[in-house]
Structure formats: structure tokens, C-alpha cells
Structure 1
């Protein structure tokens, strides 16, 4: 077994490339596991600024075949060639893959260091793989360890609580162009339209409320606005509502639906704003651009995009160095535990050979020769004899000492099943 990760993120690629790579993302994991027996499990992590696949590959020699299967599967949906897909997805193997996921889950690889949304997205990626039947015990252990690492980083560094989220940074940027009084935004007076009902919409609404925004109207291209708004104590726009007419009376639009195609087009928005001197700030957090980027050219309209967030994200601070050390130690511990699990069957087999053989021999004794006191003594001495090589083998496995493991396993193999006759004492 080998852990293989193929990653693409805002660090390496334009967001439009990431958008295409994520086409029909929910089918990728299922198709990969079905397409090749080299891939025994898959978890897909797709967010607004990353696309990553974590694969359980049955043998190191099969990683090229797994990579080819990924390239073909993603190419068939994205419109890129398999060669382009292979170029866009950076491979990480073994401990590099686990360390990367732990850093991602902890918010250390995000546009905004310490952002909180990603930890939930990592958990949901595992839940989706469970639902689709594409997870394995190794991937379960990996993603659960990633969540523990994320909590450890938050508790020991404060990044999760003090670091600003993507939504928070976007609203900070939006505040620069919202109507102000005495140099400050009166958030309670801001009239807002929220486009979308997904996880980012929920995070956006919470951030808006935290700043004091009361007038929020929810619009959903998919028709889910009513249930979303009712559960959160805000107003929904009815299905079929004229979004443009509503925006014309609005100070702030926060769009994060990820709908196919722009929800707000530049020409249509220009038409409804003709003759209006009311400023409008638009925050587009959707990877697929809910808002036509050209709206930034319209008079009185300011646009904050994911790219804006990336350009204005806060720099790494002192806690980041400690956070990365926490992640590194967590990844090392995970790899040590994984090696013990992977190498332990041979140890267990030798112990079973000896202890099982002893029990079989004791059971085969004639009733007149059975002595429970002597049997307990034999079991105790046998376990003591097995203990040293067992501990040595598992310690060697933890640090990846193959030679030391082989020696300890050889010592276990040399232990014979003890004699149990009447003369054995």
C-alpha cells in the first residue's frame, strides 16, 4: 500500500484552471476506484481554491498507473487533455502527502493563513467518500489524523481563532467601498443580498451578522433560499424573483452559489443601474464566478473577488512557525503508526505461531498429564520470550528501520513452540 496525493491549488494555478479541473468532481472518486484495481480508495477534496485527490494505491509500482487513471478521468470531464491534467496535478507520495493534508486541514496552505472553513471541508470530503464507498482504513486514519492536527494547531497557536477567514478578509475589503459615516461602516444600515445556500453562504451570513448586518435577503438560483433563510432568521427572495431589481436597491451583494454561469452579468447590471448614483459593492466568493468580472468597470460598482482576497491576505505571523512544527510532528506520528500497522501482520503471525502452537499442544495433552499451574508457567515464560523481539520489531517499524525490523522478526521466527510434556517445567 502507498498513499498518493495529486494536488492543484491557488499556489500554482489560476482559479479558472481549478474551476475546469473540478468539473463533475463528485463522480471522480467513484470512477477512479472502479476504473483500475491499482486504486483501492479515493477521497476528493475540492474547494474554491484547491482540487486534491488522496488515493490508497495497492503497490508503489502501480503509482504511475494510478496517475494515468486520474489524468484520464479528470480530462474526460474538464476538457483538458490527459497530458495537461497530469501537468496541473502535483504528485505527493507517502509522508509528503500526509504532511500536506495536515497543513491544508490546519489552514496553513489557504489564501488566508488560519482560515477556518477548510477544516470542515476536509471532514466533509471524508464523509462523501464514505457515502460513495471509496474510502479505506488507511484513508480513514489519514483524514481523522488531519482533523486532529487541525485542532492541535488551533489550540496551540490560536491560528484558527485569530486568523481571519476568506469571508472575513473579503468583508474587510468590501468595507472600503461601503457607505461610511465618520470613517466607519454602519453595518447595521447595510442592505445586503446573499446569493447561494451552501457552506460558504452559511459562513458569509454568520460573518455578516457578526458585523451587525440585519437586512439580508437570500437568493438561490437553485430555489433553496426559503429553507436556508428560514433556518437562519433572515428573509428569502421568492423563487423567480427579479434579482437585478433587488440589487438595484442594495448596498452589498455577497455571491457564493457556484451556479453554472454568471448570476449577475455586467450588461444587465449596467442597465438597471443606469442613472443611479447609489454605490454598490459586490463580493464574489464563487470559484465559477457568480458575477461577471466586468462589473468592476461599471461606474459606482466595486468588486471583491477571490483573487482580491489572495492579494490582500495577511502575511504569515510568528505563530505560523509553531503551527508548521505541530503539523510536521503530527505527520511523523501518523507515518509511524501507519508503518506499524502495515508491518505488524508478520509480527502477529509469528506470535500466533508460537502462542497458538502452545495452546494446541496443551489441549492435546491427555487429561492425566494436564497441570494448570504448569500451563500458566509455560504461557508466562513464552510471552516473556516473545516480548523483547516484538517490542524491537514494532519500534523499528515506527522509525522505518527495515534492517532492525528484519532482525527482530528473525528473532521471533527462531522461537520454537515450547514442549508441554510432563517433564517440561
Structure 2
């Protein structure tokens, strides 16, 4: 089995390209497992700043299966996102073997995020595995990989200051908004969406003293979310949203509804307009202006769009009195991180990677150890037989007792096993090295396979 990952993130692509590439990401994992025989499992991570696909490939000692899987994935991503196969191929960074685990552990620890050290990605990695389980596309190796990633993230959070810094996209957005808003205890906020980011936004707003929080969801889930989080709910119709915006100082939009696929037919694209368009915001601002009466103008409305697929129409930024902060804005304002904390976190990741790879490739090493133990037992049996025969000859006409047999066996086993530990350590090291070399031979050239099949003009 060979691990492969195809990753695209804010580090390699601009957010517009990443948005196009990840359209339809929900169905890619299911499709690749059902249509590509060598792929035994797939897990997809699709967040506001990355799209990654992890594959467990049953590959023989030639790399054709690996190459076929990577080519097939590029074609599927192209078909689901509407980009060309060449563009899809060029967008991905392909990793194999130990690079896969090292990258995922780095991602789960928040070291590859826009805001280095942010903790939300750990939950997203965990949910990606849960979604793969629900779809029936995971595998034993991918289960071990992702569970180890979650444990590694917890270690980084526990052993470095990154875990206690409150670093996240939501926190960064609220910090930027707070520079122009009235003080948070007096601010009125509307959250669009009911997912993980919405929950994080409620918690972050409360931490800043904001108690006037309402939630809107076009899908009708706002009431349940509001009840479970102790906030207010906005009606599901567009007019109710406009009315809420007219009274708001801050909007945090994180529904990700735009660009979703229909549940009934994963292959059919549902045409969904912006969750928040410029016309709705303009009407809300007109109502806000009418309500201030003698005051020169209402306070500014700050809108944070945290959705990769843009909940908010970019033209909203042209509406008078509105400040729109999207992911590009947040990326440009991401804070620096203390190098000592990052270095410590990367050490934790490196150690976890080494342990995981030894476990993953340990089957070959275990077989070598078992072979040594079997050889030792055969040697013990042979030497015990010779010693018993010698004692029988010496005691004739009497015969050795059972205690004599046990004493001889203990003495021989102790002597044979005395030098076995060093041999086991050496054999395991050799077997691991051979397993790594064999895997390297399988995946040799896989990094170039996508571009080789779909050359970029």
C-alpha cells in the first residue's frame, strides 16, 4: 500500500484559483474510490484555504497504479470543478510516502494555515475523516494517518504556546473589525451560517463581550443553532436578513452555501447565488440611514466573508458605508509567529512522522523479526536435542528427568537469546530501509505524473 496526497492551498494558489478547483470537492473522494480500482481509500479536506485529497493506493512494485491514480484524480477534479485537466494537474502538489504524513501532521497542527497555529483546522481534519467514514471511503491506513494527525495537533497545542494564543481566522477577522467598530460590548452582530465557523464566531464574540448576536441560515437551521448557542435567530426569508443587517454593526458570513452540490445527485451542480448580494446590503444601509434621523450617517457596517466560495458578492464593497474583509484581506493581515514556538511544533511533527512511518512500514520489519525468532527457536530445539542426547548417554542406563529437560532448555535458550536483541534491532533497521526503498521505487516519478500526462502549455 502506498500513501499519496494531492494538495492545493493558499500557499500555492491565489484564492480565486483555489475556489474554482475545490468546487464539487464533496464528491471527489467517493468517485475516485468507486472508479479507480487501485485506490483503496480516500479522504478529502476542503476548507476555506485548502483542498487536499489523501489516497491509499494498492500499488505493486511498479509505479503504474500510482501514476494511474494520480492521473485519474486530476481528471475527476477537472470534471467536477469545470477547470481543464491541465489546470487541475498544474494546481496540485503531489506527495508520496513519508511526505504525506509529514504534510498532514503539519496541516493539522496549524503550521500551514493562513494564521499559523490556528486551532480550527484540527477540527476540520477530524471532520474530514468522519465524513470519509460516513461515505465508506476510508481505509485502515488512512484511519491511522488521520488519528495520528489529531493526536499530533493536540501535542502541539499542549506543548507550545501556539495552542493558547487564540489564533484563528475568526479571531483575526474580529480583531480587524474591532479597529473600526464601536466597542464589542455595544456592537450588534449577525452570523450567516450554522457550521463550525459560526460556532467559533459565537464563542469569539462572547469572549470580546458582544452579547447582541443573531444567526441567519437560508436552509432553516438558524432556530436550532440559536437555541443551542444561546443567540437570537433571524427569519429564513431574504427580507428578514435585510432587516437584521439594517440594525447590525458586524456581519460574519461563513455558510459556504454557494457552490454546494445537490444531496440527491452528487454529480449535479446546483446554481446558488451569493448568500449576501450588493442589492440586499444597499437596502439595509438605506434603512439604517433612515433610522439615524438627525445624525449625519449610520455607523459603518463591517462584513467578514470567511467562506472560500464567497458568501458575499464582492460588489458589496462598493456600497457606501460598508467595509468588506474577505479571505484575501485576512491573509494579508495574518500576524507573525514566534519562531521558537514554530520550531518546537515542527520538532513534534517530525517525531510523530517518524513514529507513524515506522508503524506503517513496520509489517515488513515485523516479518524480519519473526523470521529471526523462528530461526532462534529452531537453533534452541536443535541444541536442546543434542544436549539431551549427550546427557542420556552419560546417565545410561538411567534417563534424564523432565526437570533435566527444562534445565537444559532454559540454559540453551538463555545463551541463544543473549545475542538476539542486537540482531533483531539490526534486522528491523534493514527491513525498514528495504521497505522504504521499495516504496520509493514504486512512487518514483509520481510527482511528475500529472504534468507528464497533462503538460501545461
- Alignment TM-score > 0.5, same fold: yes
Cα distance, 1:220 vs structure 2: 0.5
Q: Distance in 2 between matches of 1:248 and 1:387?
A: 75
Residue 244 of structure 1: which of 228, 242, 245 is its match? 242
| 1:294 matches 2:292 | no
Cα distance, 1:350 vs structure 2: 5.7
Cα distance, 1:263 vs structure 2: 1.5
Q: Which residue of structure 2 lines up, in the alignment, with residue 46 of structure 1?
A: 46
SS of 2:247's equivalent?
A: coil
Q: Which deviates more, 68-77 or 108-117?
A: 68-77
Aligned residues: 394
Cα distance, 1:74 vs structure 2: 1.3
Q: Distance in 2 between matches of 1:175 and 1:111?
A: 20
Q: Distance in 1 between matches of 2:358 and 2:377?
A: 27
Q: Distance in 1 between matches of 2:357 and 2:346?
A: 16
Cα distance, 1:230 vs structure 2: 0.2
| 1:339 matches 2:369 | no
Q: Which residue of structure 1 lines up, in the alignment, with residue 106 of structure 2?
A: 103
Q: Which residue of structure 2 lines up, in the alignment, with residue 204 of structure 1?
A: 201
| 1:148 matches 2:120 | no
| 1:393 matches 2:405 | no
Q: Which deviates more, 197-206 or 381-390?
A: 381-390
Gaps of 5+ in 1: 180-184, 363-367, 406-425
Gaps of 5+ in 2: 259-272, 290-296, 385-398, 439-457
Give matches, 1:223-238, under 5 Å.
Answer: 223-238=220-235
1:50-93 superposed Cα distances (whole Å, 9 cap, x missing partner)? 00111112226122111111112212211112222111111011
Q: Which residue of structure 2 lines up, in the alignment, with residue 408 of structure 1?
A: none
Change (3 A) 1:302 1:66: same
SS of 1:42's equivalent?
A: strand
Mapped contact 2:145–2:356 kept (Cα < 8 A): yes
TM-score by length of 1: 0.84
1:282-340 superposed Cα distances (whole Å, 9 cap, x missing partner)? 11111111111111111111111111110000013222222222222322232233232
| 1:114 matches 2:117 | yes
Cα distance, 1:238 vs structure 2: 2.8
Change (3 A) 1:297 1:5: same
Residue 186 of structure 2: which of 179, 183, 189 is its match? 189
1:249-277 superposed Cα distances (whole Å, 9 cap, x missing partner)? 11111110011231111123223423723
Cα distance, 1:34 vs structure 2: 1.8
Change (3 A) 1:370 1:259: farther
Change (3 A) 1:321 1:244: same
1:201-258 superposed Cα distances (whole Å, 9 cap, x missing partner)? 1111110111111111111111101111101111112333621122111111111001
Residue 349 of structure 2: which of 327, 347, 358 is its match? 327
Give matches, 1:7-406, under 5 Å.
Answer: 7-59=7-59, 61=63, 62-162=65-165, 164-179=167-182, 185=183, 187-240=184-237, 242-260=240-258, 261-274=273-286, 276=289, 277-278=297-298, 279-318=300-339, 319-348=341-370, 351=373, 355=377, 371=402, 373=406, 387-397=421-431, 400=433
Mapped contact 1:396–1:404 kept (Cα < 8 A): no
Mapped contact 1:9–1:49 kept (Cα < 8 A): yes
Cα distance, 1:379 vs structure 2: 6.0
TM-score by length of 2: 0.79
